[in-house]
Amino acid sequence: MKRPLIGIPAQTLQAIDGIPEGLPHSWAMNARYYTAIANSGGAPVMIPLLTKEPEALREIYDRLDGILLAGGVDMDPCTFGEDPHPELGRTDPARDTVEVQLAQWSVADGKPILGLCRGHQVLNVALGGTLWQDIGTQVTGALKHDYFPTAGYAREYLAHDVVLAPGSRILAAFDRPTIRVNSMHHQAVKTLAANLVATGRSPDDLIEAFEGQADSEQFLVGVQWHPEVFERTDAPTKRLFAAFVEAARTGRG
């Protein structure tokens, strides 16, 4: 059986924390996203950040069966009409441009799309939503969400619960109403895009998962955590990736 092609956009290497400026321009991405798709029956491909070649980007997109938007640095607040907050981290404008465009094309065409952490935020912004730029200073009573590896936390650290909505795709994958997730973000969904439905919330009521409207057949899922970390070891996480890949294989949600 032919494997569906799943496109995963790259990030600009120099946008990653700890990578010095001044290096030759390069694109890169964490291998775990690609191996999670391959392990689930898909054929992952890296999408270059072709901001100056929109026709070439569209040609790549048209050949793909699904899009995965991965984790990474902060979204530039200009993408949702705000000025930068003092706690805004590093940004990757080229990646913002490409990922927002891919998300909009995917939703218009009904092509399966999965957003993880930053990708969850990109999907929301691409469809008209907004973000908190820094949870710790902008959300009263918020939990700690920024358990970053750069601060010494393991990527596998389970930080808090998420309550899943009945009837959701995410509940179908995890098969239990409350799950424990890792957490490596300081931005989060503020205003949810009108055509999305919140399907997972943390104890401080931040949106940790969303999906397309119930009457939509498209596989459109965003989660605020990093499931690719657990894809090899956790059966429910495997089901999430498998459901996405199967939707890409069949062309249905």
Grade residue 1 by pLDDT with cuts at 50, 70 and 90.
confident
Q: Residue 35 belongs to what H/E stretch?
A: helix 31-39
d(CA 108, CA 87): 34
8 A C-beta contact, residue 78 and residue 129: no
What value does the mean pLDDT take over residues 101-106?
A: 98
One-letter amino acid identity for 36? A
Question: What value does the mean pLDDT take over residues 177-188?
Answer: 98
User: Greatest CA span in the chain, whole angstroms?
Assistant: 51
Other CB atoms within 10 A of residue 156 CB: 10
Please give the model's pTM, rounded to 2 decimal places.
0.95
What Rg do the C-alpha atoms of the chain give, in angstroms?
A: 17
Residue 84 CA from chain centroid, whole number: 21
CB 57 within 8 A of CB 101: yes
- Is 25 one of the annotated active-site residues of the chain? no
What is the share, in percent, of the chain residues with pLDDT greater than 90? Answer: 89
Catalytic residue among 99, 208, 228, 231: 228
Q: What are the residues whose beta carbons fall under 8 Å from the beta carbon of 2, sequence distance 6 or more?
A: none
How far apart (Å, rounded) are the C-alpha atoms in residues 121 and 208? Answer: 10
- Known active-site residue 228: yes
Query: Which CATH architecture does the domain made up of 5-250 adopt?
Result: 3-Layer(aba) Sandwich (3.40)
Catalytic residue among 117, 160, 186, 211: 117
Among 105, 20, 11, 16, CA closest to 57 = 105
Query: Residue 29, SS3?
Result: coil
pLDDT of residue 26: 83
Using the predicted structure, report yes or no on whether residue 18 has a pLDDT greater than 70.
Answer: no
DSSP 8-state symbol, 71: -
Among 240, 251, 182, residue whose Cα is nearest residue 40: 240
117 catalytically annotated: yes
How do the domains of the chain map onto residue ranges?
5-250
User: Could you read off the pLDDT of 133-182 as tens digits, one per residue?
Assistant: 999 999 999 999 999 998 999 999 999 999 999 999 999 999 999 999 99
Q: How far apart are alpha carbons 21 and 70 in whole angstroms?
A: 22
